[in-house]
Amino acid sequence: MEEAAFPPRQIDGVELSRCSSEDPLKNREKGKEVDKDIEQQDSEEAHGLADPGWARPVATLIYLCVALGHLILVKEQCLETQSDGALFVSLAVLQVSLGFEATVYAVGGLVQPGGVGFVVNFLESAGRFRLLLGATVWAWLVPWAAEVHCRCGEQPPRATAVLAHQQGQTLACFVSAYFALREVCVLLRGEPPSALDRSVQPRFGDCLPSNALLGGQFRMDKAEFEQTGRTVFVPARLRAGLDTSSGLALAAHFASALALHQNQWLLATLLCLLARRLGGAWEVLLGRRGAWAREVPRLLCRFGELWWLRCALWQLQLCELDANGQLPQCALILHDVAISDRVGQLLDWQHLLAEKAMPEIWLEKYRPIKFEDVVGNSAAVTILRSHATAGTFPHLLLTGPPGCGKTTVVHCLAREHLQEHYEQGCIELNASDDRGIDVVREKIKGFAQQKVSLPEGKLKVIILDEADSMTQAAQQAMRRTMEIFSETTRFALACNISSKIIEPIQSRCAILRFSRISDEDMLQRLKLVLEKEGAPYDQSGLEALAFSAEGDMRNALNGAQSTFNAFGEINKATVFRRDGEGFRVLGFQGFRVLGL
C-alpha cells in the first residue's frame, strides 16, 4: 500500500516531514545556526550602510572643538572672575557637562560597535550620565541668572530680584531631587514589569523607576549608526522631562538679560533658542536622512550653547568691573538683611509711612562733602586739599580726638580725587567692629586686589576708621598689603592714639595731627544747622552745646538734635536738662564769669 502524504511540520522555524529520518533535535540546532547566520548578515549589511563619507570625521573634529571651547571657558572663569561658591560651581559644572557630552559624540565617531569591549561599555555608561547631567545641571543656571541680575542691577537689589534668586534655588533643588529620586527607585525596586511588557497593568509609582537613566535599558541607536557611522547609546524607551531644565535656564537668562538691558547677553540667549529651532526645522525638512541631516541640528545646538555661555561669562566679568566697591550677593542679603522682613515692610504701609516720617540724623545730613564746608584744623585741611589737587598722595595717618573731622576730610579727599568714580573706588571700614586679621585678609585685601575701572592716574582709597583698635597681627598683615598694592591703592587710617599703630605702618604714612574744634568754629556750624532746620535757639543755648561737646562736633550736633526733639527749643536750660548735668551748669556759669 502506498504511503499517504502528510503535510510538513515546523519546529522552531525548521521544516520537517513525517517521513524524515533526521532527528528533530538536530534539525532544531540547524535552525539556530541559520538564525545566527541571518543576524550576522544583517549586521554586515548595517556596516555597509554606515558610510557617511567625510561627514563623520568633520563632525567629530567639530565636537572636539566644542569640548575644548567649554574647557577654555572654565579656565577663564577660574582665572579672570571673582565668582565663588554656588555662582562658580553652577556654571563650571555645566561647562564640564557640555564638554563631556561633546566628547561622547566625538568618541562615538571613532569607535565601531564591534570594537574594543570596554570602550563600547564606556560609551553606553557615558550615554546614561550624559542625559542625567543634562537633565539636572541645567536647572542650576536658573538661580545663576538671578544671582547675576542681583549683582548687576540696582544696589541694593530689589526685593523681587532677591526673591527670584531664592525661588530659582528652590526650583533647581526640586528638579535635581526629582531626577535623583527616579534613580533611587530603580536601584531599590528594579525596572517594573509594566516597563518591560506593555500588556502588564502599571502599578502606582511605576513611572519613577521606568524613567530612570542609570538603571534603565539602553541600546545603540541603529539609525544613527547607519546614517552617520557614530556609535551613540540612547534609552530603549522615551524618557520624559530631559529637556525641561535647559528650557527653564534659557527663560531665566532671557528674563535677566531683558531686565538689565544687556543686549549682548540677550542676543546670545535668542541665538541659542534660534539654533535649537533651526535644528528641529532641519530635521523636518530633510526627514533625518543622511549624515548631515542628523549632525547639523546637534552641531547648531552645541554652538548656540557655547556662545550663550560665553556671553553669560562676559556679563559676569562686566558686572565685576562696574561693581560699586563690592559685589553684593543675594545669598548674603537673604541671611544678613532678612529679606522676608523687607518684603513684609513693602506690604506694610503703616510701617513705610512711619519710616518716612522719621527725622533724618543731622550729623549725616550736614556732613561736609567738600573741603570748603569743613570747619576747624585749617592747616591739615590745606595739606589734604593740596594732595587732591596734585592727583597723587601717600598713605595717610590722621590722629586726634574723636569728633574733630578726621574721617570726614578723608572722604572729601577721596571725592575730589575720584570725582564720579568715588562710589566704586572708595571703601570705609570701622576697625572697632572688624579688628582681627580676618578683616585684612577678606575685606581689605579683597578690595585692594579687586578690578575697578578707574581713569589713568586715579587710585583706590581704603579708609580705616579707629585703626588703633586693630590687633597687632592685623596691623602686621595690613602693612604687607599696603606694600603690595601701593601702585593702585592708598590707605587712610584715622585713630585717636597714634602710639597704638605699629612703627612700620607709621613710617609708611604721612601723619596729620588734628585738634579739637574751637568754640568759634563750633558755634558757627551749630548756628548754620539750626537755621536750616528752623529750630528756635538763643546764644546761651549754642554756648551750652559747645561747652558740653568739649570740641567734639559729633557730640554737639547730636546734642542739638536731641535737645530740639525733646523740648522744641535750644537754650541753656534745655541743654543741661537733656544731659542731667546740674553740676555742670555751675561750672559753665563760672567759666563765663571768669571770661574763659
Transcribe 141-157 into DSSP letters: HHHHHHHHHHHHSSSSP
Render pLDDT for 161-209 as a digit per residue (tens, 0 to 9). Answer: 777 777 888 888 888 888 888 888 888 877 777 776 667 777 777 777 7
Work out how many domains the chain is built from and give that number.
5
Residue 56 lies in a domain: yes
In which band, very low, low, confident or very high, does the pLDDT at 353 lie, cut at 50, 70 and 90? very low
Question: Are both 283 and 407 inside the same structural domain?
Answer: no
- pLDDT beyond 60 at 4: no
Cell 563600547: give the residue.
Answer: 120
* Nine-digit cell string for 416: 575730589
Q: What is the pLDDT of residue 44?
A: 40
Indicate whether 246 and 112 sit together in one domain. Answer: yes
- What is each CA distance from 148 to 16, 57, 268, 345, 540, in whole angstroms? 76, 39, 16, 25, 57
Picking from 153, 35, 60, the residue whose alpha carbon sits closest to that of residue 110 is 60
Report residue 233: phi and psi, to 5°: -100, 135
Choosing from 321, 351, 385, the residue where a domain stops is 321
**pLDDT of res. 341:** 42
Residue 153 belongs to a domain: yes
Cα–Cα dist 363/166, whole Å: 37
pLDDT tens for 564-593 read 888 888 988 888 876 654 434 434 444 444
Tell me whether residue 290 is in a domain: yes
Is the predicted pLDDT of residue 26 greater than 80, yes or no? no
- Spatial separation of the C-alpha atoms in residues 408 and 412, rounded to whole Å: 6
- pLDDT tens per residue across span 431-454: 766 666 777 777 888 888 888 888
In sequence order, the 6+-apart residues with CB closer than 8 A to the CB of 105 are 59, 60, 63, 230, 232, 298
∠ CA 104-107-109, rounded to 5°: 115
- The pLDDT confidence band at residue 130, using thresholds 50, 70 and 90, is confident
pLDDT, average across residues 3-32:
42
Higher pLDDT, 517 or 232: 517
Confidence of residue 408 (pLDDT cuts 50, 70, 90): very high
Q: How far is CA 353 from the centre of its chain?
A: 34
What is the reported pLDDT for 510?
A: 92
Q: Are residues 156 and 252 in the same domain?
A: yes
Residue 135 has pLDDT above 90, yes or no: no
403 & 460 share domain: yes
* Residue carrying C-alpha cell 597704638: 500
Does residue 62 sit in the same domain as residue 146?
yes
Residue with the bigger pLDDT between 41 and 406: it is: 406
Q: Which residues of 547-569 are buried (b: 16+ CB within 10 A; e: fewer)?
A: bbbebbbbbbbbbbbebbeeeee
Is residue 414 located within the same domain as residue 397? yes
Q: How large a percentage of the chain has pLDDT more than 90?
A: 11
Judge whether 368 lies within some domain: no
Q: Are residues 393 and 478 in the same domain?
A: yes
User: Mean pLDDT lowest for which of 14-23, 76-85, 118-127?
Assistant: 14-23
Split at pLDDT 50, 70, 90, the class of 514 is very high
pLDDT at 117: 65
257 closest CA partner among 153, 349, 370: 153
Question: Which residue, 345, 276, 272, 344, is CA-closest to 309?
Answer: 272
65, 119, 212, 228, 573 from 187: Cα distances, Å = 36, 24, 9, 34, 84
Same domain for 485 and 573, yes or no, is no
| Cell output for 260 | 538689565
Segment (H or E) for 235:
strand 233-235
CA distance 483 to 480: 5
Q: Is 500 helix (H, G, I), strand (E, B) or coil?
A: helix
135 touches 249 (CB < 8 A): no
Task: Name the residue range of residue 571's domain.
Answer: 519-594
More confident residue, 85 or 100: 100
pTM: 0.47
pLDDT at residue 158 tops 80: no
pLDDT digits over 239-291, tens only?
Answer: 777 777 888 888 888 888 888 777 888 888 888 888 777 766 666 665 556 67
Separation between Cα atoms, residue 138 and residue 103, nearest integer Å = 18
Top pLDDT among 306 and 114 is at 306
**Beta-carbon count within 10 A of 488 CB:** 15
What is the mean predicted confidence (pLDDT) over 309-325? 72
Range scoring the smallest mean pLDDT among 39-43, 328-332, 506-510: 39-43
- Cell digits of residue 521: 568754629
- Cis amide bond preceding 402, omega within 30: no
Please say which residue of 460, 492, 513 terminates a domain.
Answer: 513
Q: Is residue 200 part of a domain?
A: no
- C-alpha to C-alpha distance for 202 and 211, rounded to whole angstroms: 13
105 and 254 assigned to the same domain: yes
The more confident residue out of 351 and 429 is 429
Lowest mean pLDDT segment, chosen from 133-137, 218-222, 223-227, 321-325: 321-325
Min mean pLDDT across 13-17, 381-385, 549-553 is at: 13-17
pLDDT of residue 47: 41
Residue 177 lies in a domain: no
The span from the CA of 90 to the CA of 67, in Å, is 18
Contact between 409 and 384 (Cβ < 8 Å)? yes
The predicted model gives 231-242 an average pLDDT of: 78
Q: Where are the beta strands (DSSP E) in 186-228?
A: 218-220
175, part of any domain? no
Question: CA 411, CA 396: separation in Å to the nearest integer?
Answer: 12
pLDDT for res 163: 75
3-class state of residue 462 by DSSP: strand
Distance CA 571, CA 535 (A): 11
Confidence check: pLDDT of 364 > 70: yes
Last residue of a domain, one of 462, 486, 513: 513
Same structural domain, 291 and 143 = yes
| Residues 161, 287 within the same domain | yes
> Which region among 48-57, 143-152, 510-519, 549-558 has the lowest average model confidence (pLDDT)?
48-57
Helix (H, G, I), strand (E, B) or coil at 368: coil
Residue 550: which residues within 8 A CB-CB, separation 6 or more? Answer: 516
Residue 185 lies in a domain: no
| Measured distance CA(103)–CA(65) in Å, rounded | 9
* Residue 188 pLDDT: 82
User: Residue 292's CB: how many other CB atoms inside 10 A?
Assistant: 18
Considering the domain architecture, whether residues 426 and 567 belong to the same structural domain is answered as: no
